[in-house]
Amino acid sequence: MEIKVLGPGCARCKRLFEEAQRAIAQSGRQASLIKVERIDEIQSFGVLMTPALVVDGEVKCAGRIPPLAELVAWISAAAQKES
């Protein structure tokens, strides 16, 4: 599973990255977590607001930091799709 945090490196983007790390650990799943800071790559996802979270190529949220439980649910759902 590949999880990307999209954002130019602001404090909210860093917080989402940290929350994503916590969610991966809490879910017990294997995932690679990537920080995407290049504007052209962020725009390629159609995201207009950051921070944004992408799980296996699907934008899950943009412009907000979702609660930890929501992040864990997305990770668990993506892991089940892989099975």
pLDDT of res. 81: 87
Q: 2-82: which CATH topology? A: Glutaredoxin (3.40.30)
Q: What backbone torsions phi and psi does residue 59 show, to the nearest 5 degrees?
A: -70, 120
Taking 50 as the pLDDT cut, the residues of the chain under it are none
Whole-prediction pTM: 0.94
Q: What per-residue confidence (pLDDT) applies to 21?
A: 98
Question: 1: closest CA among 31, 33, 36?
Answer: 31
pLDDT (0 to 100) of residue 82: 80
- Phi and psi torsions of 73, nearest 5°: -60, -45
pLDDT digits (tens, 9 = 90+) for 61-73: 999 999 999 999 9
Residue bearing tokens 């962020």: 42
